Amino acid sequence: MESVHRVHAVAIRDGRVVALAGDAGLVTFLRSSAKPLQALPLVRIRPEFDDRLIAIASASHCAEPEQIEAVRELLAAAPAAEGDLACGEQEGRPPGQIHHNCSGKHAGMLAVCRSRGWETDGYCLADHPLQEELVSVVSDAAEVQPATGTDGCGVVAFALPLERMASTFARLGELDGGARVIAAMRAHPRLVGGGDALDTLLMEALPGWIAKRGAEGLLCGAGPDATGFALKVEDGNMRALPPAVAAVFARLGHDLPEFESVPVEDGRGEVVGEVSCL
């Protein structure tokens, strides 16, 4: 054994904990797992938008052609331009803000601002009406006031106990606009992540479930029976999430052998080890 990644996980159904590992009270940032919640104002004010636009607004995309096209369509519908995006560029991606993995969320935020008649300059800042509304949205969904900080793309980030994250996703379908966000993510899992993103792979493996990954080893989501879940790798290493997902979902009655281990390869591409649950 070379390394150990401690994972905290909780699943909630009907207000009760149905699976637990580690500390359900661990407080951490939602990061990009908040995107389905941050899409709620968009759904509420622009109900005519199709599922593709809602899915990309909820996404951490891989800059795949279909995803970039969806962001462009959302910007056009806002209406807004690529230059209005305040997410900045992202290292390792093609130039231009539109290739940032949060550009869909930001395009959705611009659409809300346009619809409300709010200034788009400074829409990322904590004192902008949009960010103030999003704090209220998350507070209502989590039934507790979150702590806040600044996310990697410049907008407000929300910190909650894992138990509250799981409860929030369990309740998502009951919230105004929540069922629409869930339907869009179910319909377009490859827009939400793409490539080999864990949230996309999990949604494809378990149709009817939604999942949204966040930076620093976070994954949240919900099932068709309103079971909400949240997993956090304590040291932030994303490679520990697939085996942890397999272990948690086994307790929920779902066999996911494809997630049970992550292969470790040498420089020649030969498998020389694995990451798996102890």
E-strand ranges in the chain read: 7-13, 16-21, 27-29, 147-150, 156-161, 210-214, 218-222, 227-233, 261-265, 271-276
Residues 6+ apart with CB under 8 A from 275: 5, 239, 240, 242, 243, 261, 262, 264
* The dihedral formed by the CA atoms of 220, 96, 68 and 81, expressed in degrees to the nearest 10: 100
Q: What pLDDT, on the 0 to 100 scale, is given for residue 90?
A: 95
How high is the mean pLDDT of the chain? 97
Whether residue 257 is contained in a domain is answered as yes
Whether residue 1 is contained in a domain is answered as no
Q: What pLDDT, on the 0 to 100 scale, is given for residue 133?
A: 98
Whether residue 255 is contained in a domain is answered as yes
The sign of the torsion formed by the CA atoms of 235, 237, 241, 242 equals negative
Percent of all residues in the chain with a pLDDT value above 70, rounded to a whole number: 100
CA 231 – CA 235 distance, rounded (Å):
12
Q: What pLDDT, on the 0 to 100 scale, is given for residue 162?
A: 98
Whether residue 131 is contained in a domain is answered as yes
Q: What pLDDT, on the 0 to 100 scale, is given for residue 5?
A: 97
CA 267 – CA 59 distance, rounded (Å):
32
Number of domains forming the structure of the chain: 1
Identity of the residue numbered 16: R
Q: Which three-class secondary structure state does DSSP give residue 244?
A: helix
**What's the whole-number mean pLDDT along residues 120-134?**
98
Nearest CA to 20 among 262, 244, 266, 271?
Answer: 244
Whether residue 195 is contained in a domain is answered as yes
CA 237 – CA 6 distance, rounded (Å):
10
CA 124 – CA 44 distance, rounded (Å):
20
Whether residue 100 is contained in a domain is answered as yes
**What's the whole-number mean pLDDT along residues 180-189?**
98
Nearest CA to 196 among 152, 229, 244, 241?
Answer: 241
Band (pLDDT 50/70/90 cuts) for residue 148 is very high
Angle between helix axes 241-251 and 198-205 (nearest 10 degrees) is 30
pLDDT digit string (tens) for 70-123? Answer: 999 999 999 999 999 999 999 999 999 999 999 999 999 999 999 999 999 999
Whether residue 256 is contained in a domain is answered as yes
Percent of all residues in the chain with a pLDDT value above 90, rounded to a whole number: 100
Q: What pLDDT, on the 0 to 100 scale, is given for residue 161?
A: 98
Range of the domain at 62: 7-276
CATH at residue 249: 3.40.710
Band (pLDDT 50/70/90 cuts) for residue 41 is very high
Whether residue 2 is contained in a domain is answered as no
